[in-house]
Amino acid sequence: MFEASTFERSLGGQGPPPLIGSWRRTLVLAGLVGCVALFALARWLAAAPRLDASWDAGPAGELVLRASPHATLDAHRGQALVALGAPGRPPVAVDGALLQRSPRWQVDDALRLRLLTQHEALAAQLVAGSVGLHFAGGDALTVRAGPRGFTGLGGAFWPLAGLALLLYLFAAVVLVAHPRPSNVLYAIMSLCQAGNLLVIALENLPGLGLPPGALAASGPVRMGLDLCTGAAAVHAFALTPNRLVHARAIAALAWSGAAAWLAHLHFAQPAPLWWWAQAGCVALATAALAVIHRSQRLQPNPYAVVMRRFAAIALGTLVLATLAVALIAGDQEATPGLAMGASMAWSLLLACLLLLTPLLGRSRQLLREFALLAGIGTVATAVGLLCVALFALGPLASLAVAAFIALGLYAGARQWILHHFAGSTAMSTERTFDQLYRAAREVQARPSRHAQMLGQLLRELFDPLEMRSLERVPTRSLVVSAGAALVVPLRPLNAAGAPAFALALRFAQRGRRLFTNDDAVLADRVVEQLGRAVAYDQAVEQGRVEERLRIAQDLHDDIGARLLTLMYQAQSPEMEEYIRHTLQDLKTLTRGLAATEHRLSHAAAEWKADLTQRLTLAHVELGWTFSHDRDLQLSVVQWSALTRVLRELVTNAMYHGGATRIDVGLACEGGRLTLEVADDGRGRAPQAWAHGLGMGGVRKRVKLLGGEVHWRENGPRGIVCAVRVVDFAATA
């Protein structure tokens, strides 16, 4: 149900008044805590020792030394490392599994156990200060280990850590600004994925050597974070934007299922473990998509549409990445780098979706571009893995194919994806200008319909599902209800004070997209331009009034004075009477020009008085009837046209038809004006008349009013002229 009170409450403020002074301090404190925690993590990793060398996986899965800054170690370049053994300890066999750093995305359980064993053995020797290396040729040497240092964190650590900090800050801002259950769930998802990014940053440190226990804990931690993210998504979609009937049951089922699944993974260690973990994540993602789809079906909401798209994108890329990593699992040469790339691309995409969620009602083109690149990167990485698995391509060839596909997707589908990714539809400048121009011209012609035309224009621009008026009005257009509605204030045309009311537009594009801040700016500019159009029209009308007053004054003072002098100097009574009639006509004309308004009843009274005087002097009988259902206020154009038409028709009947009686019938009912002038003169067969200036002027003035005029015979004698204006009230 559309309730105006909902939007009015949202206009009352964006947070409780007591928190306005403290929320900034809270956010600053949260930011400082995040920065300090990130610096502490970086310092801990920088202080950890490492084996400073670069390694490759050989064709048989062995670990081959590629280069090292240590001269004694670099002398064994190209040899395979077979074991690690410190003095007094048994050697531990090593192979290419030592290069793999992501237990969470390791498909083979045996390989996961082997790489964890090798990494823990290496970490123990690094902590002792030296590492014993045994090569395939029988050579053995001991290498001193030094701290990694901040420069040894690599190029991937700081971008990933920065993105994790950004997610943490987003969660803090959303939670502090609006501490409600749905935002708590958003904060949980953001913090979980921030933790995922930090673990990925740890796994991507260059060289061999990680702090003891770090890699062993990364797998269970990342599984738990992923399952927690899925459960929070299901819970959040059950609450917002539409609270489902069984929201509590759905949330309890999601959280209990995630907890039971995680406990099963941790304690039972089912084989294959990776497939069980992926199945849990895919199941929760599918449940989240089903819940938001159900929410949209129950009550259409553009926010639900966008969230459904996000859930579908996340589920699709997760399934694609899972399938790609599973198919490439047997390739020992390609697995380490590409599997890590798929994991990182998937995490970046999910982080971008979370960053976009609070900004759906705002224009963040850079963030959307980054999310698009992350999504295409995930797809490209998965396609590269599939090329390696299905077509036996090498890493370089598969990378080239993936890059080609990614560039093709970005170049060919970028605009469409950006328009539909968050449900935004950009309106063309030409269409917007055309609609604004038509509305402005209509408002200039009918200023009283300003509010109606503005509402119609906003409906054409945004195509909302519903539109209502509000009593509480903001000072400018606002996007409220997470982009579901746009509130546009309407200001009175002749007042500079507060707006009288506002329009609330709900669900843009018939519920297919959210309102954005760009829409709010556009609405404000539309209101401003229409206001300027009305102000321009009022200024023009004021100029016309002043010019009419000047002309009326000049006619009265100059021409009137001359005619009065001529009347006193007339040589005959007939000439004096003619000039007297001319002065009376001039008086009527100047009074009409100077009048600020012309009521239909007042104008009819003046016309009757004028005709009565003229026809009485000419010894012609006048029959007059007038009826109206409402007293319209005539415009100057209407008053002037009707005055001249009536005079011309009566004059023709008197002097050309020789009539002895003229009947005038004037009626205005239902917005339709009817004027009939009938005489008993000698005029016949009007269809054969040659219309001169008089009758041509009548046609021209009636056409200017939007009506039509017809002449016909009046029984045995005379002519009837009928004037009809169908939409007379609309132009009054």
CB 449 within 8 A of CB 440: no
**Mean per-residue pLDDT of the chain:** 81
Mean pLDDT of 204-223: 90
Which pair of structure tokens corresponds to residue 44? 């801990």
Q: At 241, which amino acid appears? A: P
pLDDT band at 14 (very low <50, low <70, confident <90, very high): very low
Residue 86 or 80, more confident: 80
**Range with top average pLDDT, 272-286, 377-391, 613-627:** 272-286
Instruction: Reply yes or no on whether the pLDDT at 261 is more than 90.
Output: yes
- The better pLDDT of the pair 262, 302 is held by 262
Q: How confident is the model at residue 483 (pLDDT cuts 50, 70, 90)?
A: confident
Q: Are 480 and 505 in contact (CB under 8 A)?
A: no
CA distance linking residue 680 with residue 714, whole number of Å: 7
Contacts of residues 86-90 at CB distance under 8 Å and 24 or more positions apart, as own/partner, are 86/125, 86/128, 86/130, 86/131, 86/132, 86/142, 87/132, 87/142
pLDDT at 443 over 80: no
pLDDT of residue 17: 43
Q: Read off the amino acid at residue 460.
A: E
pLDDT higher than threshold 60 for residue 590: yes
Residue 191 has pLDDT above 60, yes or no: yes
What does the block give as tokens for 301? 């909401």
- Among 13-27, 357-371, 685-699, the range with the most confident prediction by mean pLDDT is 685-699
Closest CA to 309 of 515, 513, 518, 519: 513
- On the question of pLDDT at 281 being above 80, the answer is yes
Please state the pTM of the whole predicted model: 0.65
What does the alpha-carbon distance between residue 47 and residue 51 come to, in Å, rounded to a whole number?
13
- Strands (DSSP E) found in 434-547: 466-470, 478-480, 485-490, 501-506
